[in-house]
Amino acid sequence: MNNMTTMIENELLQEHINKFGLKPQCIDGHFWVERDGKIIDTHFMEYDLICQIRGCNSNDKHYIKAPFMTQFIMSIVCKNLNHKQIGFGYCYKNAILEIKKNGGTLCFGSMGFKNKLKSGYWWEYGGLYYKSPLAFCEFS
């Protein structure tokens, strides 16, 4: 496929998502930026409290990218939510502002913290087996 075909398919997909009106009550996933092989994601002090309660290390984050099409769909869904705020709880807007300021690639998926007491991670956003857009969405 060439770039023009991909662009047309992306526009059609965006049109269908907008028409369908996928507007979840809550999104259980996380956006971050990747630049030069590094993850750029603001650390908010709220994470420290969450990790203290959950028995996790707030300095040991783990990220799992969702499949490409899920990332694409969720970026459209969040763009349509049109959040104006920045800060804790507004990762899409934070990531978009970081990209505008310093460049990078928008990523979406799961983010968790290493558990201090047992093996594995506690997932603040998403989870180990989250793959589809609907897995990341909560509807009322």
Return the biggest CA–CA distance within the chain. Answer: 51
Whether residue 105 lies inside any domain: the answer is yes
17 occurs within a structural domain = no
pTM for this one?
0.79
**CA geometry: angle 107, 20, 72, nearest 5 deg:** 15
Closest CA to 132 of 55, 51, 24: 24
Q: Does residue 82 sit within a domain?
A: yes
Is there a domain that residue 2 lies in?
no
Asked whether residue 18 is domain-assigned, the answer is no
The domain containing residue 56 runs over which residues? 26-138
The predicted structure's pLDDT at residue 8? 47
pLDDT score of 56? 93
Would residue 6 count as lying in a domain? no
12 in a structural domain: no
Per-residue pLDDT of the chain (140 residues; tens, 9 = 90+): 444 444 445 565 556 555 555 555 677 899 999 999 999 998 899 999 999 999 999 999 999 999 998 888 888 777 766 666 667 878 888 999 999 999 999 999 999 999 988 888 999 999 989 998 888 877 65
pLDDT score recorded for residue 33? 96
Answer yes or no: is 103 within a domain: yes
CA 7 to CA 1: how far, in whole Å? 10
Q: How many domains, in total, are found in the chain?
A: 1
